[in-house]
Amino acid sequence: MDWLTTVDHKKLGILYLWFTLFFFAVGGIFALLVRTQLAVGENTFLANDAYNQIFTMHASSMLFLFIIPIWAGFGNYFVPLHIGAMDMAFPRINALSFWMLPPAAILMFAGFLVDGGAAAGGWTAYTPLSRQAGMGMDLWILAVLLLGMSSTIGAANFLVTMFRMRAPGMTMFRMPIFSWTMLVTALLQLLATPVLAAALAMLFIDRNYGGAFFDPNGGGNVVLWQNVFWFYSHPAVYIMILPGMGIISEILPVFSRKPLFGYKAFVFATMGIGALGFSVWAHHMFTTGAVLLPFFGIMTFMIGVPTGVKIFNWLGTVWGGSISFKSPMLWGLGFVSMFLIGGLNGTFSAAVPVDFALHDTYFVVAHIHYVLFGGSVMAVFAGLYYWFPKIWGRMLDERLGQLHFVLGFIGFNLTFFPMHLLGLDGMPRRIATYANDTGWEPMNLLSTIGAFLIAVSMIPFIINVVLAFRRPPDQPNDPWEGNTLEWATTSPPPVHNFDSLPPIKSERPLFDARQENKDTETN
C-alpha cells in the first residue's frame, strides 16, 4: 500500500526503475521476434501484418516506456540527493507523473486486443498511413499523449527542484553533471513535448472527426506531420541520450580518481546540443523533396561539434587517471567507445547526397542503435551497477557484472554492426521479409545470433540482482569513493535524505571531505 500512495522521490524513483525495466524486457522480446523473422529470407514466422505491429511496438515500448521514463527514474532518485535537497519540489505532482505511465502502457498494448491489432505504422506514425490504420492507432495516440503529459509535468518539477531546492553552497556550477543533463533534458521536454501533443491531437481529429490537417484533398498537407513530429522527436533523441551522458560523466571521474575534464565546457556542450537540437529536425526528411536541404545539412553537421567535445572530455578524464575496472566503469567505457561509433555513423546522414542512399535503410537502424543501445542502454546499466548499492543497500557481484558486460558488448556489436553493411547493400528498414537472391541473409543471420546473445547476457544480470536481494544488506555508504552528495548519506538514504551535509565548495564535495580527513590524519 505504501508504494501506491508514496510521494517520496526515492520510492517513486524505484517505481520508475522497475516499470521501465519491465518494458525494456517487453521491448527486448519484441526485438527477438523481429530478429527471428529476419534471420532467413522469405521467412513465414510472422505474417507481414503481425511483423509491422511487433516492430512498431518494439520501438514504442523501448522509446516511450523504457528510455525516456527511466531517466525520470534515475533523476527522481538522484537529482534531490545530488543537490542536497529533501525531496522534489512538488512531491504530489511527482507521483502523478509516475502514475500516468501504467494507464498509458495499458492503452498502448490494448491495441493487440482490438480489431486490426496494435499500431503498425512505426513509432513515427507517418500520415497518411496512420490515418488509414485501425483502432490500435487511436489507442497508441492516446497513450503517447498521456506519456507526453507525464514527461512535461515531470520536466517542470525537475526544473523547479534544481532552481529552488539546492543546498547552501550548491551553486549552479557545482551541480553534478548528471543534474545538469537532467536540467537540459527537462528544458527540451518542456519546449518540445507540447508540439508532439499538438501533432497527436491533429492526427486524432483527422482520424475520428473528419479533420484534414494531413489530407491534401481537404487542403491539408501530408508532410506537415513529419515536420511537427520531428520537431519533437529530434530533440527527443537528446532527451533519450543526455541523461545517459550525465551518468557516464559521474562514473568516469570516480573510477579514474580524477575530476571530469572540462566541467564547464561539458555543461556548455550540453546546452549547445540542446539548442542545436531544435534546428535539425528535417534531416529525417531529406528524401521528401520538401526540405531546405543545405540549412538542415549544415546544422546537423554542427551538432557533431559539441558532441565531439563531450567525447574528448571523457577521454581527457580517464587520461592520466588511476583507473579501476569495476562493472560501472566497464559499461562507462563501453558507452564511450560505442557512442563514438554512433556519433560518427550519424554524420554520414548529415551529408545530404550520402543520405539519399542511406535514408530508410538498415544503416540508419545501425546508427540509432549505436546511439540508443551502445549509448543510452549502456548508460542505464552503468547507472544500475553504480547506484545499486545506494538504492538497495547491497553490492552487485563483480564477476557476474563482468560476464554481463562482455556478453552484452559482443552481442551488441554482433547484432548492430552488420546492419551497416545491410544498409549499404540496399536493405530498406521496416520490411517484413526479403527475397533469397538479395544476398542479405548471412548478415541478417549474424545479427539475429547477436540479438540472442544480448538476451543471454541478461541472465547473469538477473541472477546478480536476485542473489543480491537474497543477501542481507551490507549497506556500504560510499563503496566507490564517490564524489557527489548521495554517498554522504546511508544506503539506502533515510526519508529525509541527509542527517547532515558536508560543506559544498566544489562539484566534488565528498572528494573534498575525504581529502580534508586525510590532511587532519597526517597532521
Partner 1 sequence: MQRPLKRIRLLAALSLAAVLGLGSASTALAVQPGGITDEAHEMHDLFLVMLYFSIALFVIIASALLYAIIRFRRKDDELPKQVHGSNRIEILWTGLPIIIVIILFTLSLITLFDVEKKAKQDALTVEVTGFQYQWQFVYDLNDLGVGEFEGEGTITIIGTPANEPELVLPVNEIVEFTLQSTDVIHSFYVRDFLYKLDLIPGRINTFSVTPRETGVFRAQCAELCGVNHALMRFTVRIVEREEFDEWIKQTAKHQSADQEDEKTVRANEREQ
Looking at the Cβ atoms of 344 and 445, the one nearer to partner 1 is 344
Q: Which of residues 230-289 bind partner 1 (CB under 8 A)?
A: 256-259, 261-265, 287-289
Q: What is the DSSP string of 344-370?
A: HHHHHHHSHHHHHHHTTBHHHHHHHHH
In the set 322, 500, 520, 523, which binds partner 1 (CB under 8 A)? 322
In the set 29, 191, 275, 311, which binds partner 1 (CB under 8 A)? 311
Query: Cα–Cα–Cα angle for 478, 87, 166, nearest 5°?
Result: 80
- Which of helix, strand or coil describes residue 428? strand
Smallest distance from the beta carbon of 136 to partner 1, in angstroms? 14
234 contact choice in Cu ion, partner 1, none (CB below 5 to 8 Å, kind-dependent): Cu ion
Looking at the Cβ atoms of 160 and 222, the one nearer to partner 1 is 222
Smallest distance from the beta carbon of 298 to partner 1, in angstroms? 5
By residue count, the chain amounts to 523
Tell me if 25 contacts partner 1 by CB under 8 A. no
Smallest distance from the beta carbon of 292 to partner 1, in angstroms? 12
In the set 131, 166, 174, 234, which binds Cu ion (CB under 5 A)? 234
- For residue 222, which of 132, 139, 147 has the smallest C-alpha distance? 132
Looking at the Cβ atoms of 236 and 395, the one nearer to Cu ion is 236
C-alpha distances in Å from residue 451, one per residue of 32, 90, 372, 444: 7, 41, 15, 10
Region from 87-95, 144-152, 231-239, 472-480 binding Cu ion, contact rule CB under 5 A: 231-239
Residue 118: strand pairing partners: 136
Alpha helices in 425-508 (DSSP H): 441-470
Say if residues 246 and 273 touch (Cβ distance below 8 Å). Answer: no
Tell me if 429 contacts Cu ion by CB under 5 A. no
C-alpha distances in Å from residue 370, one per residue of 122, 328, 366: 19, 19, 6
Tell me if 102 contacts partner 1 by CB under 8 A. no
In the set 160, 271, 351, 463, which binds partner 1 (CB under 8 A)? 351
The gap between the terminal CA atoms of the chain, to the nearest Å, is 53
Smallest distance from the beta carbon of 241 to Cu ion, in angstroms? 11
Q: Which of residues 377-436 bind partner 1 (CB under 8 A)?
A: 398-399, 402, 406, 409-410, 413, 417, 420-421, 424-426, 428-435
Q: Which of residues 154-183 bind partner 1 (CB under 8 A)?
A: none
Q: How far apart are CA 523 and CA 396, in angstroms?
A: 37
